[in-house]
Structure 1
Amino acid sequence: MTIREVAAAAGVSPKTVSNVVNAYVHVHPETRRRVQGVIDALGYRPSAVGRQLRSGRTGMIALAVPSISAPYFADLARHVAAQARERGLVLVVEQTEGQLEREREVADGQPVRFADGLLLSALEMPDEELAAPHPDTPIVLIGEHGGSDLPVDRVSIDSAGVARLAVDHLVSCGRSRVAFLGDKAPVHNSARLRMAGYRAALDAAGLAFDSTLVPLCDDWTREDGHRATVALLAARPDVDAVFAANDELALGALAALREAGRSVPGEVAVVGVDDVGEARFSWPALTTVAIDRAFVAERAVELLTTRLADPALPPRQLQTPFRLVVRDSAPVTARV
């Protein structure tokens, strides 16, 4: 089976078949589906070695995230893998554990030298390093980073806006002693921005910031959420709402509140961030700000493949949609 036979069967040129095989972005979606259908039906298998030699590419892209086990990043990886597969690419996933040196190594291409490009979710790398040229491995940033003038392809999440939405909801339910779970030492980008949104929402509501409502967290796991909530209840038994920087922290908070005999949402309302799968099935079901991970994955892979096809393009920046999902832990009717 040759590329010319595939082209004849699909009614396109051999060049178009080659573009589909090599995952070039400038192919009409309907043409791509038709050609891929013919490739699958005929069992055509292009020579991987030949393709790599001709293009100078491996057909692999890398995704680097802080934690593969965290539900948010596990689901993001699932979506990215689907987008890569749709474009005929292979995905390699690397875990940085949120450590600065690991993020630098990945950005420099050390663990993923064979990848054509990198999708990077960095917690610790400063903006000036993220903005530095990486000619050997094009990078698309995912998540919360610096200002809008950062000259790099990225799919951003407005973490401050996410926090404001969550806290605004709690305040609208009549809550006035709103705690924040997610403050870390040392602080990373996500924690800093969600703290900023939390404080901005309090200020807009005329509520004073109170550090006793902000217990420190070692990390953003449910164990950390549980420990922080135990400490919070000891310091501030009058707390009437908890905004957790992610759903893992919120799930830990729900467990601690249940163990302490505190009614949710009657005495304490709880809101998380991410809308992970377990949020629907917790008790009570968790109110959360949903981040559109499918959008992040699709747009990030699109930005990367476009960058690979045309390195001279100016950087593009996209904002990820988010929305409040109201469930039983902080329903609209839960007013005090």
Structure 2
Amino acid sequence: MPLQDNLSGYNSGGSDPSLFFLSGIPGLEAMHLWISIPFCSVFAVALLGNCTILYVIKTEPSLHKPMYYFLAMLAVIDLVVSATTIPKSLSIFWLNSREINFTACLVQMFFIHTFLSMETAVLLAMAFDRYVAICNPLRYTTILTNSMIAKIGLVAFARSFLLVVPLPFLLRRMPFCQSHVISHCFCEHMAVVTLACADTRFNNIYGIFVTLFIVGLDLTFITVSYVKILRTVFSLASKEQQLKAFGTCISHLCAILIFYTPVVLFAIIYRFGHQVAPHIHILLANFYLLFPPMMNPIVYGVETKEIRYRVHLLFQGKSF
């Protein structure tokens, strides 16, 4: 009953119009404690895995190469996404701490969407790295200099920042005169937009434009890179050379599938799965946020020989 009382108060606008209320996973409130177990496990694995990747890359001079710099960027992004979303979700599951200030909600939304946009940009940069390494190996060190890598990182951040920053400002100007209950574990853009008591067509169109522009553009260039990579690989003389060259791309291809598959599934269900239960939408949205930060360090730790060897030494307590 206390939960229903809170919901009723916030649905009517509450006494504080700047205070919003995260519902967690609607329909599964009774299972929140059990749901928190995989959330907490994923958070622990994401923290341990990505921090380990960063530590190994930082402390091992032989890993100070473009491919590993991009992997370090990916690890930082995954840590930010995890730290921005999971602690609040766990506070809902464990402490029933559902309130969130509207400004804090907009900040969380900004960080989530900015860093997800950066992740797809870094995946594109990693595709470019593999393209240069396989298709133009003699110029690899002259093209992917430290200066160029820093510029790519800055461009990835600038693009994400400039495209996402209008979203919270557009929402701040909206009136929220009725429900203040966000049907989610975190402040996702569309979940907040649906609560506004105003015409939200521009917000909807802009949100779709940003998603299609970023994902569509990056996926197109990633596909083009791999078409060129495959052409070069198949032109190599021996089967052994082909397998060795393409083997350097396996980790990156896994990271692409890990990131884009949940995004595509979520987009399809969100747009067309009107008969799907709300809690399935919420669980899938959490899945596409939490799965990549957990899986990326595992994939690169298993598939990349240099990292696997040094992580093994690290956990054995031996120096590099």
Interval containing the TM-score (normalised by the shorter chain): under 0.3
Which one has a bigger Cα radius of gyration?
Answer: 1
More helix by share: 2
Q: Taking structure 1 as the reference length, what is the TM-score of the superposition?
A: 0.23
Q: Taking structure 2 as the reference length, what is the TM-score of the superposition?
A: 0.24
